[in-house]
Amino acid sequence: MLREVILFSIIIIGGPAGEICMSAAMKRVGEVSDFRPMALLRVAARAAAMRQVWIGFALMALAFFGLLAMLSLENVSFVVPVTALSYAASAPGGRIFLGERITPQRWIGVALVCLGVALVCLGQG
Amino acid sequence: MTLPARAQRYRTHLLILIMVCVGPLGDTFLSDGMKRIGAPSRWNPAVLFQFFERAFTSGIVWIGIILLIAFFSAYMLALTWADFSYVQPASAMAYGVVAVLGYFLLGESVTPTRWAGVALICLGVLIVGRTPPRTTGTV
């Protein structure tokens, strides 16, 4: 049980955290308007020089490894729906770390996801 | 509606259909591949290294990875053609499709309680995606 909780935590927190790091880094890299190969290579080189990109990449890779390990333990019809908890984690995360205002409608969506995950876990038997 | 606009709408619908099928199919292949490999006998670094080495030399796992890459490529492409709120329901539906594929392709047992849970998750993700994408700063 503890193993599953740890693996799900890695998937649910690691994935979105990696995406946030990547997103923050790409915003600093700037908008891509020139799509010629050399220009794209320069953008890639600029991105590769940023620590945030590598942290994001490492977190996303960790989440993927967690998913592979979890799929070796449990059914896909259980694992993938539970990973929807990342939507629930991103709401308080966005509020605390990014100062986002979470609308009541979004809280309702998050509550439904949590309730759904609880039912999926109960249905695990 | 002009023909190019209609063609663009068909193109977007086709991409969304591809996303709804390809993403969950990728997860299903990953699951099948990982089930064949089996769970690690121990959770120490040496055993985990061997476990992931076997995973990344499995053809079925690679089919899953390629399908997931195709899903993300289609998702990115669709976002350049249509609004996020138009494309997002595809990712909500994916949670339901993966349960259906697990049931039919992998023969997984899905209880009515789990089906109800999956339906609530799809609805919840759909509602989260329908909220305003930006709530900070001035728009």
In chain A, where the domains are located: 2-122
Q: Nearest CA to CA, how far is B2 from chain A (Å)?
A: 28
Inside any domain, residue B53: yes
Tell me how many degrees the CA angle A22-B135-B19 measures, rounded to the nearest 5: 55
Q: Please compute the mean of the pLDDT values over residues A70-82 and round it to a whole number.
A: 93
pLDDT at A37: 83
- The amino acid at residue B47 is V
Inside any domain, residue B102: yes
Predicted TM-score (pTM) of the model is 0.83
Q: Tell me if chain A has a CB within 8 Å of the CB of B130.
A: yes
- Cβ-Cβ contacts under 8 Å, B103 against chain A: 77
Q: Rounded to an integer, what distance in angstroms lies between the CA atom of residue A20 and that of residue A39?
A: 24
pLDDT at B42: 87
> By CA distance, what is A114's nearest residue in B?
B121
Interface residue ranges in chain A relative to chain B, Cβ cutoff 8 Å: 3, 65, 67-69, 71-73, 75-81, 84, 87, 91, 98-103, 105-106, 108-125
Q: Is A116 close to B27, i.e. CB distance below 8 A?
A: no
Residue B138 pLDDT class (50, 70, 90 cuts): very low
Count of domains in chain B? 1
Q: Rounded to an integer, what distance in angstroms lies between the CA atom of residue A32 and that of residue A113?
A: 35
Q: Which domain holds residue B40?
A: 3-130
Residue B80 pLDDT class (50, 70, 90 cuts): confident
